[in-house]
Structure 1
């Protein structure tokens, strides 16, 4: 008896199933209703598993790879970090009619004062080979009747370790805008009862952006640092869409004089 090659039997079963479902599809219009109902139930069961397999395969085979932490940081950086939204899939991937102080994931919060929210916030899959981050974040703003809109990213506790006034904190973005929009980044460092703030406007004339915050110009108490976060502030965001394809932080010490 000739030994079957590995996988040959599986391929035969797949071809048989494919022929059967193709035949059902071609004869569905004239099929007896009892048989049609039975075949529909079988097709639905098959569709569930096919959809599940395709969903997993699309995520695993798409670029960039999920979990990728590649970050083009400065060579002399002593710390870097990319928030979870841009690293892997969230349990809840989107919010519509976003209320004030709503969180997506554990690190990103949306603040606004709209009387009626027409905002959506959603994690989306990056598929371009140019994007290092596997996921992005999309903010859709329809009618906007508020006076402020900001996206707050809480930095991890590691960002406060050995943070000094001689540090430069850098934030890199890959941004896609539906229309020209003013965006400001504000670094906040809480130390004791005080909070130091540095504001920079994003130069939104390019897809890849970066801003740096020089802590030398602050009155930071290095011994009492408790928390660090960054606000992204959107000016006049009515009827706009912002996609943050990537966002990551790094810091490096200023060269000694």
Structure 2
């Protein structure tokens, strides 16, 4: 009932202002002055509403899993950190291991931690992920800094040496930097790795991991994870705007 009444009132208000606009040319000056003052007050509220609504609706949709995928993709995934808000958005002085959520963790071996990690909201027109991950590093005297992403169990189901695994990273950095992407596959007591460079000087950097040469025991694949290893991270700010995975069969030769 309340919604019906709201719609009725809305129609009556629209009709009133439509009539006022159509009759403005013949209205008396006193009437025009009153209507102008009322319209200005109303326009102020409407402009504020439109501005806020545009800002909210132009942002990437929370929970979205949509992104471009190669033909033949049979599994794809965007980690939750890039899809929705975390209970804890970040850590100012990161210890040697920081668990952001069930899939994403940060590791380093720097004694004096001048490292901050924080989830941010994406707002650019070309962003597909709702959130990003900001990594700020000041002094760094350690030997490694890496972000680890554990792929879900679904990624191991049907996994074979005929697959290519694609990782697409949308990143930006305050100063030139490079990232090495290492895909790790645990099968039984063994773990095999494939290493690929990522060039974050471009908005999007894609790494394709070919598994054909690996001595995988396809029936015993237990775990798959990705390490993003930051090279020379000191005095830099790196924002991972999006991170996506997909698995597809290679083309027949």
Task: Name the residue aligned to 1:227.
Answer: 223
Whether the 8 Å contact between 2:172 and 2:200 is mirrored in structure 1 is no
Task: Name the residue aligned to 1:94.
Answer: 90
Alignment of 1:41-56 (within 5 A): none
Alignment of 1:76-95 (within 5 A): 76-95=72-91
Q: Secondary structure at the match of 2:251?
A: coil
Change (3 A) 1:59 1:113: farther
Aligned partner of 1:69 among 65, 68, 83: 65
CA–CA distance in structure 2, aligned partners of residues 136 and 199 of structure 1: 24
Q: Secondary structure at the match of 2:60?
A: coil
CA–CA distance in structure 1, aligned partners of residues 144 and 9 of structure 2: 63
CA–CA distance in structure 1, aligned partners of residues 87 and 77 of structure 2: 21
Post-superposition Cα deviations, 1:139-168, rounded to whole Å, max 9, x if no partner, equal 000111111100000000000000001110
Unaligned residue ranges in structure 1 (runs of 5+) = 9-18, 20-55
Task: Name the residue aligned to 1:131.
Answer: 127
Change (3 A) 1:138 1:131: same
CA–CA distance in structure 2, aligned partners of residues 123 and 156 of structure 1: 20
CA–CA distance in structure 1, aligned partners of residues 79 and 68 of structure 2: 15
Residue 60 of structure 1 deviates from its aligned partner by 4.8
TM-score (structure 2 length as normaliser):
0.78
Task: Name the residue aligned to 2:103.
Answer: 107
Whether the 8 Å contact between 1:155 and 1:228 is mirrored in structure 2 is yes
Task: Name the residue aligned to 1:119.
Answer: 115
Q: Secondary structure at the match of 2:73?
A: coil
Residue 76 of structure 1 deviates from its aligned partner by 1.3
Task: Name the residue aligned to 1:218.
Answer: 214
Post-superposition Cα deviations, 1:57-84, rounded to whole Å, max 9, x if no partner, equal 7985341111111111112111100000
Q: Which runs of 4+ in 1 moved over 6 A?
A: 56-59
